[in-house]
Chains A and B, each alone.
Chain A
Amino acid sequence: MAEKVLMKGNEALAEAAICAGCHHFFGYPITPQTELAAYMAKKMPKIGGTYLQAESELASINMVLGAAAAGVRAMTSTSSPGLSLMTEGISYMAGCDLPALIVNVQRGGPGLGGIQPSQADYYQATKATGHGDFQLIVLAPSTVQEMVDMVFLAFELGEKYRMPAMLFSDGLLGQMMEPVVLPEPGDIKTVEKPWAVTGHGGKRKHNIVNSLYLEPNLLEDTVRARYERYAEAQRTEQRCEEFMVDDAEIVLVAYGASSRICRSAVTTARQQGIKAGLIRPITVWPFPNDAIQKAASHAKAFLSVEMSMGQMVDDVRLALNGARPTYFYGRTGGMIPSPAEVLEEIKKIQEGK
């Protein structure tokens, strides 16, 4: 087995992307994703790849769109304010059925917000990453190792379903150091891209990468066909980790950095005789509805814990459809909930307060 190395989340993600065959990175500087771009700037010239510092996130996402249209694995990374600028390009990529990797190392908002970790872009990532009817694959790592593994998954799922994929990280995971195993070279699963613009070579009709359909019936047909792929992804790609859920009466739902806090709160709760458990969505889109519904067969209540004012909690409620009471606990603006605060919430629910 490959050797373990100690790496910062952002840098491990960058190295993993290169291992995954992504040799085209376009970005615009922003905290707290800085190390990722810096790593790419150092590495790409050495492997004959592209690191390009664009003039804005509007430009960088459209460069990614161009490279993805040309059939290569391409990516960008940014943080919340930058992602807002990218939403135009992301909508066009969804409308052109282009796979690519977008990393959002979330920070506090709205506006310029702050530079500390946050999870307040959940709505943006899962409900409206731009105009129009569309979804992204959204993967939420909670360890540095997962940041590495999910880069591969993001490219694979993106290419399989022809969707842009987002790695939904935050400042805490990005800056944190943990031991990781990097993948062996040659582990890349790619697909044919007969739709890509490569020059027709005199061998085929011209390819057109486009999101414009002036005839509404054609646009509707295209969007419906796309939603069939989304439905397939929802059926087969829901991923989550369950921690002590089997007999849990109070089930916490948390992803990314907040799931790490919840895990220790659940462990302490168990030590104190409270049957708590944790469902950690790995795919926040498609959301792990099945696991939540299954847990509702024995759980009395659910608690969504987020570094936001309460966004994912809506999806928990939708999954439960009123079957169980659902509570929310969150901190925002870059404040990180402590395990003790979360335990306190668990106890309140336990005591029926």
Chain B
Amino acid sequence: MAVVFERPHALTDKVFSYCPGCPHGIVHRLVAETIDELGIEDRTIGISPVGCSVTAYDFFACDMVEAAHGRAPAVATGIKRARPDNIVFTYQGDGDLAAIGMAETVHAATRGENITVIFINNAIYGMTGGQMAPTTLPGQITQTTPYGRDVKAAGYPIRVCELLSTLDGVALAQRVTVDSVKHVREAKKAIKRAFENQVNGRGYSIIEVVSACPTNWGLTPSEALCWLRDNMLPYYPLGVYKDAYPEEGGAKK
């Protein structure tokens, strides 16, 4: 029988611990497929964050480091400076990347650290049970914004790609989502470019994935994707916010 669909080599055989319908699994797969296609698993070092994907070190088959909450870009910097020939990526949630780790994020980006950042924006703190994130939408109900996010008291959500796109060190800042086959394909292409940039020594690349947290949004997986389309995408438009090497874009390989 012909094999038509396989687990990427860069994923271990550990079963994901994510909730049913959580897009973390899709994004893990896209990262692993990319690592396979570029043939870089043997020299890749991944960094898992504090958040739902904290145990990503069990799922990716490359060498892995688990970082403190928000510090993944600093840990990645240390690894990359020690081993410039290795491929280093971080995988971070919105609380990790844009709240507690914003300083590390901005400075890794402005230094043009030659790393790849996969950023999961699900507008909520998943792991701790659904508190407000820096990306929680105005009016969005969470455990810590029970009356909806009041921007007068809690401020406005942060658009990370837009913010980072002003920095000279950034090679690629692109926002994608994985709510449909078409979007999954685009996300894959973007993630692949973010890794290729690193292989080519282009500097900091970030792919923001607009994601969902059905569990803490209190929705079924399919309702969550509808909510994502109706609410997240208008506030977080998909697209390329910075591409310092556009001539290398498009469908390579």
Contact = CB atoms under 8 A, between A and B. Distances in A.
A206 B63 CA distance: 5
Contact of A62 (B60, B71, B81): B71
A199 B75 contact: no
Interface stretch (A70-78, A139-147, A170-178): A70-78
Interface string B71-83: 1011111111111
A70 B68 CA distance: 16
B74 A54 contact: yes
Interface stretch (A184-192, A209-217, A243-251): A209-217
A207 B58 CA distance: 10
Interface residues of B, number: 38
The secondary-structure label for the interface of chain B is helix
B84 to A, nearest CB: 10
Interface string A43-66: 000000010101110111011111
B66 A67 contact: no
Nearest to B76: A66
Most chain A beta-carbon contacts within 10 A, residue among B54, B57, B75, B104: B75
A199 B78 contact: no
A59 B45 contact: no
Given A55-B103, A198-B63, A199-B43, A24 B78 contact: yes
Which of A65, A71, A199, A203 lies at the interface centre, i.e. has the most chain B CB atoms within 10 A of its CB?
A: A199
A63 B64 contact: no
A54 B80 CA distance: 14
Contacts of A197: 45, 63-65, 79
Contacts, number: 139
Contacts of B77: 26, 52, 59, 63, 66
Given A209-B64, A210-B65, A198 B107 contact: no
A270 to B, nearest CB: 50
Interface string A14-53: 0000000000101000000000000000000000001010
A63 B54 contact: no
Contacts of B215: none
B78 A92 contact: no
A63 B45 contact: no
A200 B63 contact: yes
A210 B55 CA distance: 10
Contacts of B27: none
B194 to A, nearest CB: 18
A124 B60 CA distance: 37
B81 A209 contact: no
B11 to A, nearest CB: 11
Interface in B48-71: 54-55, 57-58, 60-68, 71
Contacts of B82: 24, 50, 66-67, 70-72, 74
B61 to A, nearest CB: 6
Contacts of A212: 54-55, 66
B86 interface: yes
Contacts of B66: 96, 208-212
30 contacts: A26-B77, A50-B82, A54-B107, A55-B103, A58-B74, A59-B74, A59-B103, A60-B74, A62-B104, A63-B77, A65-B74, A66-B47, A66-B78, A66-B80, A69-B65, A69-B75, A70-B82, A88-B71, A197-B64, A198-B86, A199-B42, A199-B43, A199-B63, A199-B87, A206-B62, A209-B64, A210-B65, A210-B66, A212-B66, A214-B55
Given A199-B45, A208-B63, 13 more contacts: A54-B107, A59-B104, A63-B74, A63-B78, A65-B71, A66-B79, A69-B78, A70-B45, A72-B82, A199-B43, A200-B41, A200-B62, A206-B64
